[in-house]
Structure 1
Amino acid sequence: MYEIIVQNLLSPVVLFFVLGVFAALVKSDLKFPAGLTEALSIYLLVAIGIKGGMQLSQYEISAVIKPILGALFLGVLIPILILIALRFTKLDLHNSIGLAATYGSVSIVTYGAAISFLEKKGIAYEGFMNVLVVLMESPAILVSLLLLRLAEKSDFSQEGILMNKKEKAQILGFAHAGLLDKEVLRDSLFGKSILLLLGSLLIGWVVGQNAESLIKPLFIDLYGSILILFLLNMGLIAGERLPEVTKHGWKILLFGLCVPIIAGSIGVLVGSWVGLSLGGVMLMGVLAGSASYIAAPAALRSSVPDANPSIYLGMSLGITFPFNLIAGIPLYFALAQFIQ
């Protein structure tokens, strides 16, 4: 385990991320142009999606049903567990919902770093794992926003209440209304990250291996190098967010470190249960243990405006993202090895 962590710490992607954090903390004038930041983000989304689609074309649908169900299960379970845990803190409802949606969704860059980790060690993984990235983006957002609608429109006490049939029918009605909220559906299903991932994945699935000669030079050969640039920029942003997170006390900091370990461990167990390989089990753990800072914050800005972005975005990008990059990925790999 120690050797794995050391090897990961000495990888270029982690070292450039640390360089970005250091630059932000010492208030360097190093900045990425906004246009370049957007371009790097789009590149990573398309690269992961199209490569996954090409690999998916080699599998029968029957081979991916159980992993898909496992991914959806995690997308629903994790935000519910997070909300239950946050009941024991003094965090208000809207910020709790923000954290549930953020930590229930996934970090596409953490996933990309995990792929680089596996490729460096020469460990194979299922090509359809990129499909699971897309599937796990939305459920947590939808579930969290639905729970917010329920909490706002019903008189739940801290201890919970017994409900008669009429009250249960009302809550089901609220749930139905929450799921049909056009803004919620649009932000959760057609946001930039999901649209690019799903669209490029479908394109890769349609063209299959026939387009490899066209795709490989840009989206496969250059992937690791461009990921380094993106993580340098992420280090700058994370370093700027760290002071905001520390204002909210040690409990919230502990949350940002404990949740990925617990959720990632559940993800590893689910990955093993659905029959994934060593690499696939590790990636399932990475997806479950990561936190979104693209799709979920975009949906929360319009759907839960009372949630403080410095909490859910600062936590995911300032605490959980560097933790996963440095220690989480090796930890999930060691857990996957132990279970397999």
Structure 2
Amino acid sequence: MDFLSLFITDFVMQLRSPTLAFLIGGMLIAALGSELVIPESICTIIVFMLLMKIGLTGGIAIRNSSLTEMVLPMIFAIMVGILVVFIARFTLAKLPKVKVVDAIATGGLFGAVSGSTMAAGLTVLEEQNIQYEAWAGALYPFMDIPALVAAIVVANIYLNKKKRKEAAYSMAQPVAAGSMAQPVAAGDYPDQKGYPSNRQEYLSQQQGDGENRVKIWPIIEESLRGSALSAMLLGLALGLFTRPESVYEGFYDPAFRGLLSILMLVMGMEAWSRIGELRKVAQWYVVYSVIAPFAHGLLAFGLGLIAHYTTGFSLGGVVILAVIAASSSDISGPPTLRAGIPSANPSAYIGASTAVGTPIAIGVCIPFFVGLAQAIGGLPPTP
């Protein structure tokens, strides 16, 4: 009973965090019809500064620590990013009215990392004076890139297999002399331009398809060039190979929380505006978006505990690993998936992530995992 009461008390008090309050405030004013608008250019600058600060923190910490401490958490981050895609492939994709490519893309977005959610998690830990490895933020790309790569590879393998099966089926069906060519079912390709209008055209397009292979490096390159990951990796490199402590302490660190509060307000308004998109797709996406952040976070939390007990990885670091696993990419992920899986419906995976997944991850999962770590022991109680 003491365990449960401690957990509930800490969980409720975490919900009063200023970071989470701005998110909820943004959703409320959007629901009330406020015309408040934060220009996109300002949001871009804010995101850049937040991720630059996280990168600088990680780079400075890595420079002053042993790389061997990072190996196991890095491996676990990679594992979680890939596993999340396969979880969506074999759960969400099996539900009624959910197209397989849409489910895979959704898994890729939920496996990738939200820089803003990670920043919110780091801020909550600092507000509660919870110790964590400063390099923990550097786990971002080790989960983000494998998730996006896995999603695009799995989706393309599925689509290629589907094409071959449809081609084989079409060749097995006789066409009566003088009859019209039969149309090909669109299946999972509703958004592709130039979809074949008849069987003959479709079959002609299949020549050489068996030789096609999904190229992984272009996917990785596209992810690395994304604005979010580029900013964080730049900060990581500067912190690791230069001495940026003066600009870090005088500019990036003091401005971090204030900028984050503005971003949380914007994300709250964005989440509310995206709710309408979920009406265009199967309602199972809403169920998935509520359950997935907890399921993915608990998977990462469990692996983090293994690192905690075997290598001394801090419980604060375990919480960060769980939080980035619970998050879903809101910056670099969508354009990467649009390019890599063009037949997937953006209303499905972006709507699920932004409208439900992100608010759940920030507003509920962060205090949930902090409270869970406090209940297990080793972290100071919420003041």
- The normalised TM-score by structure 2 is 0.79
Shift of the alpha carbon at 1:4?
2.6
Distance 1:13 1:256 in 2: 21
Shift of the alpha carbon at 1:257?
0.8
The one-letter code matched in structure 1 to 2:119 is G
Please give the secondary structure, in 2, of the residue aligned with 1:264.
helix
Tell me which of 60, 68, 83 is aligned to 1:54: 60
**Superposition pairs of residues 130-279 of structure 1, within 5 angstroms:** 130-155=137-162, 177-180=213-216, 182=218, 184-207=219-242, 210-275=243-308, 276-279=313-316
Matched, 1:16 2:18: no
Paired position in structure 1 for 2:190: none
Please give the secondary structure, in 1, of the residue aligned with 2:103.
helix
Q: Choose between structure 1 and 2: higher helix proportion.
A: 1
The one-letter code matched in structure 1 to 2:341 is V
Q: Is the 8 A contact 2:280 2:347 kept in 1?
A: no
Paired position in structure 2 for 1:107: 114
Distance 1:246 1:76 in 2: 28
Paired position in structure 2 for 1:37: 43
Distance 2:317 2:210 in 1: 36
Please give the secondary structure, in 1, of the residue aligned with 2:244.
helix
Shift of the alpha carbon at 1:27?
2.1
Q: Between 306-315 and 276-285, report the one with greater CA deviation.
A: 306-315
Please give the secondary structure, in 1, of the residue aligned with 2:113.
coil
Distance 2:339 2:265 in 1: 29
Shift of the alpha carbon at 1:213?
2.5
Paired position in structure 2 for 1:167: none
The one-letter code matched in structure 2 to 1:185 is I
Q: Could you report, residue by residue, the CA deviation over 1:186-216 in whole angstroms, capped at 9, with x for unpaired residues?
A: 3222211111111210111122xx5322211
Shift of the alpha carbon at 1:26?
2.2
Q: Is the 8 A contact 2:27 2:271 kept in 1?
A: yes
The one-letter code matched in structure 2 to 1:152 is L
Q: Is the 8 A contact 1:16 1:231 kept in 2?
A: yes
Distance 2:68 2:74 in 1: 10
Distance 1:171 1:272 in 2: 45
Matched, 1:335 2:372: yes
Shift of the alpha carbon at 1:12?
1.8
Task: Say if 1:264 and 1:187 are closer, same or farther in 2 by CA, change over 3 A.
Answer: same
Shift of the alpha carbon at 1:152?
1.4
Distance 2:39 2:152 in 1: 33
Paired position in structure 2 for 1:118: 125
Distance 1:6 1:338 in 2: 13
Distance 2:345 2:129 in 1: 41
Paired position in structure 2 for 1:303: 340
The one-letter code matched in structure 1 to 2:220 is L
Tell me which of 65, 87, 101 is aligned to 1:81: 87
Q: Could you report, residue by residue, the CA deviation over 1:211-269 in whole angstroms, capped at 9, with x for unpaired residues?
A: 32221122111111110011111111111001222443542211101111111000001
Please give the secondary structure, in 2, of the residue aligned with 1:226.
helix
Shift of the alpha carbon at 1:138?
0.7
Tell me which of 82, 93, 98 is aligned to 2:100: 93
Q: Is the 8 A contact 1:79 1:100 kept in 2?
A: yes
Distance 1:2 1:173 in 2: 56
Distance 1:70 1:325 in 2: 22
Shift of the alpha carbon at 1:290?
1.0
Larger Rg: 2
Task: Say if 1:75 and 1:179 are closer, same or farther in 2 by CA, change over 3 A.
Answer: farther
Shift of the alpha carbon at 1:334?
2.9
Q: Is the 8 A contact 2:112 2:147 kept in 1?
A: yes
- The normalised TM-score by structure 1 is 0.89
Q: Report how many aligned residue pairs link the two structures.
A: 323
- 5+ residue gaps in structure 1? 158-169
Distance 1:2 1:181 in 2: 46
Shift of the alpha carbon at 1:173?
7.0
Please give the secondary structure, in 2, of the residue aligned with 1:186.
helix
Distance 1:114 1:223 in 2: 13
Distance 2:142 2:289 in 1: 23
- 5+ residue gaps in structure 2? 1-6, 166-207, 378-383
Q: Could you report, residue by residue, the CA deviation over 1:101-155 in whole angstroms, capped at 9, with x for unpaired residues?
A: 1011111111111111111111110122121012211100001110112111225
Tell me which of 280, 283, 293 is aligned to 2:317: 280
Shift of the alpha carbon at 1:171?
12
The one-letter code matched in structure 2 to 1:179 is K
Q: Is the 8 A contact 1:51 1:220 kept in 2?
A: no
Distance 2:367 2:94 in 1: 30
